[in-house]
Amino acid sequence: MLVVGLSHRTAPVEVRERLAAGADALPELLARLASRRELAEVMFLSTCNRVEVFALPKAADGVDAALAAIRDELAHHGGAVSGDALAAYQYQKRDEEAVRHLFRVAASLDSMVLGEPQILGQVKEAYDAALAAGTLKSLLGRCVSRAFAVAKRVRTETSIGAGTVSIASVAVELAWRVFGGLGDHAVLLVGAGEMAEAAARSLGNGARALHICNRSFDRAATLAGTLNASAVPWDSLAAELVQADVVVTSTASPTFVVTHEMVKRAMKARKGRTLLFVDIAVPRNVEPSVHGIDNVYVFNVDDLEQEVARGMKARQAEREAAERIVDDEVAQFLAWTRGLQVQPTVVAMRAKTRAVLLSELERSLGGRLKHLEGDRAALTQMVDSAVNKLLHAPTTRLKARAADGDDAGELALAIRFLFDLQEVGVAPEGESSSDAVPDAVGDEPLPH
């Protein structure tokens, strides 16, 4: 298995955005990649932080050609970015490292924000798109679906997704701790900058009402239009404090915009109803003593960042445990794929043994067997049982040798020689191409 791509770790956003592909562009892109004779299976993952192509080469000795084909297609897709320029930002991994990379990506261990849950959904979308385009068959498909299981295991067995790790999500968390939900509460945005917008997008979602109050009414009205909110004039800020339950402040004012006296008066008019301030402005917009007023809570950017840092620290502490799970899953997956390499030999050995036994049975009973329909089923079952018992030990030992990573090729070769399997048309191990793999994959359960 292979992966070629670039991510937030290796490429700036200007490069990533050139290679990104939306849902509409994916079918064509996948079709083009799949049409390359070097590639047997392909999946294209495109998020705001990464663009990656996961693929299975058509032939075991065609890995370099497959990598080159993917790089070509990426360069072609990137358009203005030349292949050479792209190479500086790209990474490529193969075999164990590629599997590990996919598992780590799905488990959000390679994300910009460790443990963020969106990436798993994005990998699922890429998987669905590849399935719909018919570019995923069995081996890569099984690897991706295994990656989902790994991500789930990491989330269940560690606290990698716990805590809040962005200012906006901390603000939402605070609003929950104070109000439970914002369905019955109004949010007031004081200021209309980028930070305010980001917080408003999180907080305003689900709030009863979202009002935007800015010194420039036009700017407030423009932002209100994009957020499905209503703009209010700057002069009515004091009156708005009576109506709002959550106030997000982010103006560039060098002095306090919300003062102690202002809030004191508002609280009297509110009859003591709880009021939450999320002050993300620097310098601060809300006078610190406001936090001392009964039923009023003020959290500034330091408080929020402290919580973000705590969340990040908690997640980092879980990284080691998560990496151990990934290592364990990679080992299991590789053992399973190694087992697949001897699968054609196992299938051929069993088929030949069964054919010989059935043939001998026919010969011994002569023409009588065709007249004994009831006994025929029982006799066939007996032959199957004999095949199972006879070949159980060689089958399990061959698979165990392959799963352990030992060279099972020689053993498989010996079996083919001893059983004279060439006669039943089994391809040599080295040529157990991806064409042969899908059928075998379907029969062989992944270890748990």
Partner 1 sequence: MTIDLANWLFVATAASYFAASVIFIAELLGRAGRAGPWAARLVALGVPLHAAQIVVWSLVLHVCPVEGIHFSLSVASMLACLAYVLARLRYRVDVVGAFVAPQALAFLLASRFVGPVNDEPRLRSALLPFHVAANLLGVALFTMAFAAAVAYLLQESRLKHKRFAGASRLPPIDALDRAEHGFLVAGFPLLTIGILTGTLWAREIEAGGAAAIARACLSYASWALIGGVLLLRAAAGWRGRRAAFGTILGFGLTLLVLVTYLVRSFGQVAAPGGVPA
Catalytic residue numbers, as ranges: 48
Give the shortest CB-448-to-partner 1 separation in angstroms: 21
Q: From the list 36, 50, 155, 270, which residue makes contact with partner 1 (rule: CB under 8 A)?
A: 270
Tokens standing for 85?
């320029």
Q: From the list 265, 291, 319, 338, which residue makes contact with partner 1 (rule: CB under 8 A)?
A: 291
At 31 the three-state DSSP class reads helix
Q: From the list 91, 148, 217, 297, which residue makes contact with partner 1 (rule: CB under 8 A)?
A: 297
Peptide bond into 57 cis (omega under 30): no
Rounded distance between C-alpha atoms, residue 229 and residue 192, angstroms:
12
Rounded distance between C-alpha atoms, residue 177 and residue 14, angstroms:
39
**Residue 249 or 341 with smaller CB distance to partner 1:** 249
The contact pattern for partner 1, residues 342-361, with x = CB under 8 A and - = no contact, is --------------------
Give the shortest CB-272-to-partner 1 separation in angstroms: 3
Angle between helices 343-365 and 301-341 (to 10 degrees): 40
What DSSP assignment string belongs to 246-313? EEEE----SS-SB-HHHHHHHHHHTTT--EEEEE--SS-SB-GGGGGSTTEEEEEHHHHHHHHHHHHH
Rule CB under 8 A: is residue 289 a binding residue for partner 1? no
**Candidate segments 257-265, 295-303, 343-351, 439-447, binder of partner 1 by CB under 8 A:** 295-303
CB 117 within 8 A of CB 108: yes
Residue 344 gets the label, from left (phi > 0), alpha (psi -120 to 50) or beta, of alpha
Q: From the list 110, 197, 307, 329, which residue makes contact with partner 1 (rule: CB under 8 A)?
A: 307
Q: What values do phi and psi take at 186, rounded to 5?
A: -105, 145
137: number of Cβ within 10 Å = 19
Q: Find the binding residues for partner 1 in span 310-329 (CB under 8 A).
A: 310
Give the Å distances, CA to CA, from 89 to 17, 120, 263, 344, 358.
Answer: 13, 24, 52, 40, 60
Rule CB under 8 A: is residue 303 a binding residue for partner 1? yes
Q: From the list 117, 233, 272, 283, which residue makes contact with partner 1 (rule: CB under 8 A)?
A: 272
Rule CB under 8 A: is residue 54 a binding residue for partner 1? no
Give the shortest CB-298-to-partner 1 separation in angstroms: 10
Q: From the list 20, 81, 97, 179, which residue makes contact with partner 1 (rule: CB under 8 A)?
A: 179
**Candidate segments 301-309, 316-324, 333-341, 373-381, binder of partner 1 by CB under 8 A:** 301-309
**Candidate segments 3-11, 88-96, 203-211, 293-301, binder of partner 1 by CB under 8 A:** 293-301
**Residue 286 or 398 with smaller CB distance to partner 1:** 286
Single out the residue of 147, 142, 248 nearest to residue 199, CA to CA: 248
**Candidate segments 130-138, 173-181, 324-332, 402-410, binder of partner 1 by CB under 8 A:** 173-181
Q: From the list 267, 281, 408, 437, which residue makes contact with partner 1 (rule: CB under 8 A)?
A: 267
**Residue 67 or 174 with smaller CB distance to partner 1:** 174
Q: How many residues bind partner 1 (CB under 8 A)?
A: 22
**Residue 178 or 413 with smaller CB distance to partner 1:** 178
What is the identity of the amino acid at 123? V
Give the shortest CB-112-to-partner 1 separation in angstroms: 23
For residue 234, what is the DSSP state? G
Q: On the CB side of 31, how many CA atoms lie within 13 Å of its CA?
A: 7
Rounded distance between C-alpha atoms, residue 306 and residue 109, angstroms:
22
Tell how far CA 352 is from the center of its chain. 43
Q: From the list 9, 177, 201, 313, which residue makes contact with partner 1 (rule: CB under 8 A)?
A: 177
The binding site for partner 1 (CB under 8 A) comprises 173, 176-180, 267-268, 270-274, 291, 294-295, 297, 299, 303, 306-307, 310
